[in-house]
Amino acid sequence: MAAQVRLGIVGAGYMGMEHAHGFRLLPDVQIAAVCDRDAAAAERLAAATGHQPRICTRWEELVTQPDLDGIIITVPNFLHHPVAEAALKAGKHVLLEKPLATTVEGAHAVLKAAETSGRQVQIGLVYRYSHLYNKMAEILADGQFGPVTMLWCKEFRASFPPNPWFYSQEASGGSLVEKNCHHFDLFNWFAGSRPKKVFAMGGQHVIRQGQPTEVGWWYVQQDGAEPLTVTDSQVIDNAWVTVEYENDARANLGLCLYLRPNNLAEEGLEIGLIGETGAQMVAYANKKIGLSGGPFGDLRYIVPDRDTFSPWHIGGQRERTEFLETCRTGKKPWADLQIAYDSLLVALAAERSIKEERVVYLSEVSGHA
């Protein structure tokens, strides 16, 4: 029998609740403590775990509890780095929701704390754990694509949840940091190279600063969330982002955050790539892969095994299983700090490119030439 792992969850929002539901389905794990500054929300999170965890309203109290093996951090983005840094200094392994931080300085602080503590940080880049995107990586590895030369992502969706911090540039890091670090990570993975420079254009079409706008309607309809009207949105609601890699591969991401209703296109979220041999591969709506061209010939579809139960995100349960193994053995996770750092740099470079209306080199953002 595997040793029982005792975990704490900081943050009772959507992802905190998802982790509570997901971990309760796994053996040999106990959610021993939960935390949210809203005591009622902390109570709801505690009930969702199926255990009887201690309840805190201050994260500083939870991360230092000596009987915890790991900490799951699902707080708003601007708190990611201080909570993670404190948990690492307290000797805990950390499962930190994406993004790693909202600034490169915050990211460096977490990297330093992890190195000093000798503990592991796993980042919630769940696409890394999904059967579908691992199948794409497996197909690329057989060599029939040759080097990947072009990549793209179309994420056209409804607005962020009805929570004010999503619409604050400082609190969220910006739309591309909050939302698209997932997709920049896939670009980095499939390109097989380091990102070199970014050019982006974006702005506010619908959710405009100074203009009252109802947001988060999808969450209101689906989850019964309280509606929110924002008047001071500081983040973009649309963008096109081009990333160039050291191996000359190029990637493009299109983002729209004001669809009503959500994406009605059959393909939904679309993530694709082309290889040097002329082969093309496209993931549709996180469900199936289209494969054609080059040595593959006519179009055919592959439907990988569905991911095991995850209340929300694909790959979530495999992510949680790996975190338990990390807590037991200290094994480095697949979605590690370097992977998270690289995706964050692309997102930060894109945000800067929009603001400054120019090409931004990754070396400018990282501070390393």
Fold of the domain built from segment(s) 5-126+315-335: Rossmann fold (3.40.50)
Cα 146 to Cα 294: distance, rounded to the nearest angstrom: 10
Determine the angle formed by the axes of helices 104-117 and 80-89, rounding to 10 degrees. Answer: 10
Cα 321 to Cα 305: distance, rounded to the nearest angstrom: 17
Q: What is the pTM of this model?
A: 0.96
CA 168 to the chain's CA centroid: 18
Q: Can you give the three-state secondary structure of 185-238, one letter per residue?
A: HHHHHHHCCCEEEEEEEEECCCCCCCCCEEECHHHHHHHCCCCEEECCCCCCCE
CB distance 236 to 202 below 8 Å: yes
Helix and strand tally (H, E) in the chain?
13, 17
Cα 308 to Cα 63: distance, rounded to the nearest angstrom: 29
Q: What integer pLDDT is reported at residue 217 of this predicted model?
A: 87
Domain 128-308+343-366 has CATH 3.30.390.30: no
Of the candidates 350, 292, 361, 348, which has an alpha carbon nearest to the alpha carbon of residue 144?
292
Q: What integer pLDDT is reported at residue 369 of this predicted model?
A: 46
Of the candidates 273, 272, 278, which has an alpha carbon nearest to the alpha carbon of residue 295?
278
Q: Phi first, then psi: give them for residue 68, nearest 5 degrees.
A: -95, 135
Strand partners, 302: 289
User: What ranges do the domains of the chain cover?
Assistant: 5-126+315-335, 128-308+343-366
Q: What integer pLDDT is reported at residue 184 of this predicted model?
A: 98
80-109 per-position pLDDT tens digit: 999 999 999 999 999 999 999 999 999 999
Cα 132 to Cα 259: distance, rounded to the nearest angstrom: 25
Tokens 């199936």, residue? 288
As given in the structure block, the two tokens for residue 274 are 């082309």
Residue type, 64: T
Q: Which ranges of the chain have pLDDT less than 70?
A: 1, 262, 264-267, 308-312, 368-369
Q: What integer pLDDT is reported at residue 260 of this predicted model?
A: 86
As given in the structure block, the two tokens for residue 91 are 């000797």
275-305 per-position pLDDT tens digit: 999 999 999 989 999 999 999 999 999 998 8
As given in the structure block, the two tokens for residue 10 are 């900081």
List strand residue ranges (DSSP E) for the chain, in order.
5-10, 29-35, 54-56, 70-73, 93-96, 121-123, 148-156, 195-203, 213-215, 228-230, 238-245, 250-256, 270-275, 280-284, 288-292, 300-302, 360-361
Return all residues near 305 (Cβ < 8 A) that are at least 6 apart. Answer: 131
Strand partners, 30: 6
Omega of the bond prior to 333 within 30 degrees of 0, cis? no
CB distance 89 to 115 below 8 Å: no
Return all residues near 141 (Cβ < 8 A) that are at least 6 apart. Answer: none
Instruction: Using CA atoms of 328, 88, 11, 346 in order, give the dihedral in degrees to the nearest 10.
Output: -100
As given in the structure block, the two tokens for residue 222 are 């689906």
